């Protein structure tokens, strides 16, 4: 069903969201992927849509439903996600990169199904994918707000702060893995948000849809402050 904008706070503003996993093809029948569902990014897209924004959602392979009204750009690989974002970001007011982008892809795509060799192990050579958040950070203007996510298993805060700096983001949302109700596939998430100015928000466990609304509203506060 087509959603109506609930209010017009962001009328005329354009928002770019990445969400879901990427799939990196190995041969015609195999790929490298990850367990991202896309739920978090879709919730953020919905929250911005409800505030009146024009929302472009660049979505990797995901089975989750996307509410009507949101412009969905379906992609499969990191390279496709990068190309779509590079085309959209210059004309974007606020961007949230929540996709679980594969850091690597197979160096070559086999044209035929790869056959196993008897008794041998098997190696696939991988090469780096472009970093979408970093590329956007490198061309960001003062009027644009750019938010990334981080998923860490150790030195969480230090690593998240490193990503904030290295990618020239305005905020990093650190996903907590220290809670079984948070993360891939769940309906809830526990995050810590690091702002460029040093402010830290430690938010307790909440539903992904609530988190989407509160993150969107925090970003709206920031973009209004900087005017
Ligand atoms: N990201 C991206 N493009 C990539 C890799 C990551 O846009 N090729 C974005 C993610 O969407 C997320 C942020 O960068 O918003 C951090 O992703 P993460 O995987 O935690 O960080 P990496 O920089 O890839 O570092 P590492 O995986 O080595 O910890
Ligand atoms: Ca990564």
- Pocket around ligand 1: residues whose beta carbon is below 6 Å from it? 18, 78, 97, 99, 101, 103, 129, 131-133, 148-151, 163
Q: Is the ipTM beyond the 0.95 threshold?
A: yes
> Which is it for strands 171-175 and 145-151: parallel, antiparallel or unpaired?
parallel
> Which is it for strands 24-27 and 30-32: parallel, antiparallel or unpaired?
antiparallel
Expressed in angstroms and rounded, the spacing between residue 102 Cα and the centre of ligand 2 is: 6
Pair 81, 101: CB distance under 8 Å: yes
Confidence of residue 6 (pLDDT cuts 50, 70, 90): confident
What pTM was estimated for this model as a whole? 0.95
Residue with more model confidence, 122 or 103: 103
Q: Which residues 6+ apart lie within 8 Å of 120 measured at CB?
A: none
What span, in angstroms and rounded, lies between the C-alpha atoms of 208 and 202?
15
The verdict on whether residue 167 carries a ligand-binding annotation is yes
Closest alpha carbon to 76 in 124, 34, 137, 127: 34
CATH number of the 14-103+125-225 domain: 3.40.50.10300
Q: Where are the alpha helices (DSSP H) in 37-185?
A: 39-50, 78-88, 132-139, 156-166
SS3 state of residue 165:
helix
What span, in angstroms and rounded, lies between the C-alpha atoms of 127 and 84?
20
Q: Is the pLDDT of residue 175 over 80?
A: yes
Residue 179, pLDDT score: 67
pLDDT tens for 19-32 read 999 999 999 999 99
Residue ranges covered by each domain of the chain: 14-103+125-225
pLDDT tens for 59-97 read 999 999 999 999 999 999 999 999 999 999 999 999 999
């Amino acid at each position: 069903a087509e959603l109506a904008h609930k209010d017009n706070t962001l009328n005329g503003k354009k928002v770019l969201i990445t969400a879901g996993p990427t799939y990196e093809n190995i041969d015609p029948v195999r790929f490298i992927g990850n367990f991202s569902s896309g739920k978090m990014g879709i919730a953020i897209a919905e929250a911005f849509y409800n505030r009146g924004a024009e929302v472009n959602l660049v979505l990797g392979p995901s089975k989750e439903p996307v509410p009507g009204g949101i412009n969905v750009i379906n992609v499969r690989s990191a390279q496709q996600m990068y190309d779509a974002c590079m085309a959209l970001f210059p004309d974007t007011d606020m961007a949230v990169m929540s996709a679980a982008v594969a850091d690597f892809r197979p160096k070559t795509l086999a044209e035929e199904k790869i056959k196993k060799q008897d008794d041998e192990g098997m190696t696939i050579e991988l090469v780096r994918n472009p970093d979408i958040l970093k590329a956007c950070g490198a061309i960001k203007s003062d009027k644009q707000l750019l938010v990334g996510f981080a998923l860490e298993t150790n030195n969480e805060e230090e690593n998240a702060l490193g990503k904030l700096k290295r990618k020239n983001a305005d905020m990093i949302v650190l996903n907590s893995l220290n809670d079984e109700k948070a993360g891939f596939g769940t309906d809830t998430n526990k995050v810590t948000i690091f702002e460029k100015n040093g402010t830290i928000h430690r938010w307790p466990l909440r539903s992904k849809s609530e988190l989407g609304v509160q993150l969107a509203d925090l970003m709206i506060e920031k973009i209004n402050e900087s005017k």
